[in-house]
Amino acid sequence: MTAAQQEAFEKVSQSVMALVTNLVLILDAKGEIIYASESVHQCLGYEVAALLGQPAADFLTFEQAAEVKSNLNAPPAPEWRQYQVRHQNGSWKSLAFTWTNLLGDPLVAGVLVVARDITDEVQIRRELAEQRKFYQTILEDLPYQVAVLDEQGRYVYTNPAATGNPEVRRGIIGLTDEEYCHWRGHDPQIAVNRQRHFDEASRSRRWVNWEEVMRDPDGHLRYHQRHYHPVFGSDGQLDRMIGYGRDDTERQRRLMMNARQTQALHLCAQGAPLQEVLDQILSALEASFPHSQAALCLGDEALPGPAAPGMTADILVGTARVGTLELHQPETGDLAEAQPVLDHLAGLASMVIERDLHLKQLERLAYADGLTNLMNRPAFVRALNQALASGQRPSVVILDLKQFRNVNSRYGHAAGDALLIAVARRIEHILPGCGVARVAGNGFALLIPGGPVESVITALPQVLSQPFAVRGETLYLNAHIGVSSEAQPQEDAEATVQEAEHALRQSKQLGQTISRYDAEEYAVELTAMTLEAELRQAFINRQLVLAFQPLVHARSGSLKAVEALLRWTHPQRGAISPQVFIALAEQSDLILDIGGWVLREACQQAAAWPGGPVQVSVNVSARQFESPRLKEDVLNALLVSGLPAHLLELELTENMLMTSGRDVVDVLEQLKALNVRLALDDFGTGYSSLAYLNRFPLDVLKIDRSFIQGLGLETYGQKNLAIVRSTIALAHELGIEVVAEGVETGLQREILVALGCDLLQGYFFSAPMPLEKAVTWRFGSGPRLTQP
């Protein structure tokens, strides 16, 4: 090669070497640098010229320098080795070296060294190693169970939380779940379930969660929350499956304990037997500490402390200790966390027992008679219901002691109470097979099982007729007795009791000692009760209305006044007779409300009568007359309506005035002071005493229709004529106006006119009319009937 060619070749070589990023060095046999590529400046910061002639070992660590000298003396086969090389600024860089021994080559006569900068790679590897160590430390110390499986479901890693036994942890690597369960003796179904969830996670490419139950080496159930998380490679295929788990046993036990506590409270609220509720509380304790032995002891069984090592909590009712809840120490483990749970459940047991005692006390108060300690009425009905439900055919007898008030009045209530107790004890003693109850102040009820009912009924009067020795006195008793029919299974107990009560009322009304239930009579009584309830509703719903019947001057037939009459048309039953529904209203205070309304309504209609106010007559019932509110109701009606007081006439009957418990004259004087008119209705049907015509401040006397209807007839006609003539004459002598009721024929009218009667009323002139017809009525235009 010529010198020019040699020079050209060196220039090309230098240009090529300038493009090489790796370091290229040539060392002589002494290890000194005889050539360095330009990249050495870029990599290590040294100028090439500064390196030439320098021993390469000077740029290495002491240990590595000795190794390089040894390797240069006996060069191995070419391979990359890592060395620490000092940078021009004093720092150390990691380089990977390889060299080739060319000492025998006359052109090179040295060792060719090629190096590449791996400082960043080493740093990354170091950081990755540190991260790996960091995360491995976390996994190893993590309380959650972690396992890694390959794509075939074989274990490649488990942390200590997953397999605490080191031997098991080593042995599980490379096994499938099927092989692991077989090895450890677990239920094979666990492996089947895990494989199913493994396949599901692989297929769905998402998390899969499930709950798993398995037994520990001691045979106790352990609960786990499991999760599978699939990890896929860059090719989209499953690379590994990461399994996560958590021991959920303690939480599950708490849930089971809470569930049993809730069930105990539910049973308690439902009235379950006390022992059943306490069993639930004990099972709650056993669920919380399955390795221990639990016990709930009451009464004498409750010792001061547990017989075996463990702990106890007192069950208290108030401040009294009634039992203990105990937990005995297991062979392994301790009960450090048990006392709060034990105290809590003991408190729950205390509450349940105390509630049971209170309920029993309340039941006694609710179902026992406080004086005689017999059943009361609710308890008696309950016992009857139980007898009927069991298929028995019992009968009910109710007795009421006669004239018991006299005992209280003469001897005092203490003697009366003692007598009731003596009666209760005697009935219980003589009739032990019967259920006995006190159902009223001096009333007793007997529940007679299906059997000899007649013998019991016959024996009762004899039992009660024997003398009673009470507080030094000898007392004799009789009773009214009511007997129900024989009840049929599944019948209503209350209905059977009502049958006996109805029979008792019949016994009192008829003055009998014993009365038996009569279905037909009871039906009449029930109809009346139903009708009374419907009357109350009708009054509330404004179904009651007023009709008006004219009172006319006897000679002219012109209108003098109207009488307001109450009417009720039932939505289903049709028109109800006033004699029926007013009698029902008289039996209660309802008549007072109805009477007050009639007064107000009649006065308002009379005050608004076309052509000016008209006189209106209103009937007053016996209950109204007895009530102190009558005067107030009259005043209120006059004030609200504006009707002049002298146009209101109150009709009173003879019987009402003669049987009233009030001072009749005083009441009548109070009413007269209001300037209203007072009329004596149905004269001749009551006491017909002439004396009170002079005593009472009456304005009007109304002769009863029974005397009017006989006028003009051959039978009794002359007698009725004489009575009517005398009555009219007497009333006129006393300055009292006379009204003849029930005029139905023209002959009756003619006779009454001839006798000098003032006013006439009856179907001859008009039947009672609704308001819209009454306001336009004139004699001869209204509805006239030959009979009512």
Q: Model confidence over 205-255: pLDDT tens digits?
A: 999 999 998 887 767 778 899 999 999 998 999 999 999 998 888 888 778
Residue type for position 508: K
CATH of the domain at 713: 3.20.20.450
Are the CB atoms for 565 and 769 separated by under 8 Å? no
The predicted structure's pLDDT at residue 189: 93
Rounded CA-CA distance 596/492 in Å is: 40
Regarding whether 388 and 293 lie in a shared domain, the answer is no
Are the CB atoms for 755 and 529 separated by under 8 Å? no
Residue 452 lies in a domain: yes
Regarding whether 449 and 333 lie in a shared domain, the answer is no
The sign of the CA dihedral 343, 345, 346, 351 is positive
Helix (H) or strand (E) holding 501: helix 493-510
pTM above 0.75, yes or no: no
Regarding whether 392 and 293 lie in a shared domain, the answer is no
Residues 6+ apart with CB under 8 A from 520: none
Question: Could you write out the three-class secondary structure of 164-184?
Answer: CCHHHHHHHCCCCHHHHHHHH
Judging by beta carbons within 10 Å of its beta carbon (0-12, 13-18, 19+), is residue 418 exposed, middle or buried? Answer: buried
The predicted structure's pLDDT at residue 787: 41
Q: How are beta strands 468-470 and 648-653 bridged, if at all?
A: unpaired
- Nearest one of 753, 692, 694, 755 to 721, comparing CA atoms: 755
Regarding whether 554 and 679 lie in a shared domain, the answer is yes
Are the CB atoms for 502 and 522 separated by under 8 Å? yes
DSSP bridge partners of 481:
399, 514
Are the CB atoms for 445 and 427 separated by under 8 Å? no
Q: For 687-725, what is each residue's pLDDT tens digit?
A: 555 667 778 899 999 998 888 887 877 655 688 888 899
DSSP bridge partners of 147:
158, 243
Residue 526 lies in a domain: no
Residue 308 lies in a domain: yes
The predicted structure's pLDDT at residue 18: 52
List, in sequence order, the alpha helices (H) in 84-153. 119-141
Rounded CA-CA distance 169/158 in Å is: 7
CA distances (Å), 169 to each of 144, 177, 558, 587, in order? 15, 13, 124, 95
Q: Helix, strand, coil % (nearest 5) of the chain?
A: 45, 25, 30
| Parts of the chain with a pLDDT under 50 | 1, 5, 9, 12, 16, 77, 306-308, 331-333, 782-788
The sign of the CA dihedral 64, 69, 70, 75 is positive
Residue 785 lies in a domain: no
Regarding whether 425 and 461 lie in a shared domain, the answer is yes
Tokens of 534: 């419907």
Residue 448 lies in a domain: yes
Judging by beta carbons within 10 Å of its beta carbon (0-12, 13-18, 19+), is residue 532 exposed, middle or buried? Answer: middle
Residue 596 DSSP SS3? helix
Q: Final residue of a domain: which of 60, 93, 124? A: 124
Task: Tally the domains of the chain.
Answer: 5
DSSP bridge partners of 548:
564, 769
CA dihedral 120, 96, 109, 57 (to 10 degrees): 90
The predicted structure's pLDDT at residue 693: 77
Regarding whether 766 and 656 lie in a shared domain, the answer is yes
Count of alpha carbons within 13 angstroms of residue 63, beta-carbon side? 3
Tokens of 389: 């439900």
Q: Final residue of a domain: which of 365, 381, 396? A: 365
Residue 140 DSSP SS3? helix
Regarding whether 386 and 454 lie in a shared domain, the answer is yes
Regarding whether 488 and 420 lie in a shared domain, the answer is yes
Residue type for position 430: I
Regarding whether 224 and 191 lie in a shared domain, the answer is yes
Regarding whether 255 and 233 lie in a shared domain, the answer is no
Rounded CA-CA distance 757/464 in Å is: 63
Q: Final residue of a domain: which of 315, 345, 365? A: 365
Are the CB atoms for 788 and 763 separated by under 8 Å? yes
CATH of the domain at 236: 3.30.450.20
Q: 714 φ, ψ to 5°?
A: -65, -45
Rounded CA-CA distance 53/412 in Å is: 143
Regarding whether 740 and 609 lie in a shared domain, the answer is yes
Residue 309 lies in a domain: yes
Q: For 404-423, what is each residue's pLDDT tens digit?
A: 888 888 888 898 999 999 99
Regarding whether 708 and 564 lie in a shared domain, the answer is yes
- Nearest one of 393, 777, 374 to 549, comparing CA atoms: 777
The chain-wide mean pLDDT, for the chain, equals 84
Q: What angle do CA 157, 142, 248 make, to 5 degrees?
A: 95
Residue 601 lies in a domain: yes
Residue 625 lies in a domain: yes
Q: 559 φ, ψ to 5°?
A: -70, 130
Rounded CA-CA distance 432/777 in Å is: 74
Strand-by-strand arrangement of the 310-317 sheet:
293-298, 320-328, 310-317
The predicted structure's pLDDT at residue 178: 93
The predicted structure's pLDDT at residue 677: 96
Residue 152, domain extent: 142-247
Judging by beta carbons within 10 Å of its beta carbon (0-12, 13-18, 19+), is residue 92 exposed, middle or buried? Answer: middle
Rounded CA-CA distance 671/645 in Å is: 10
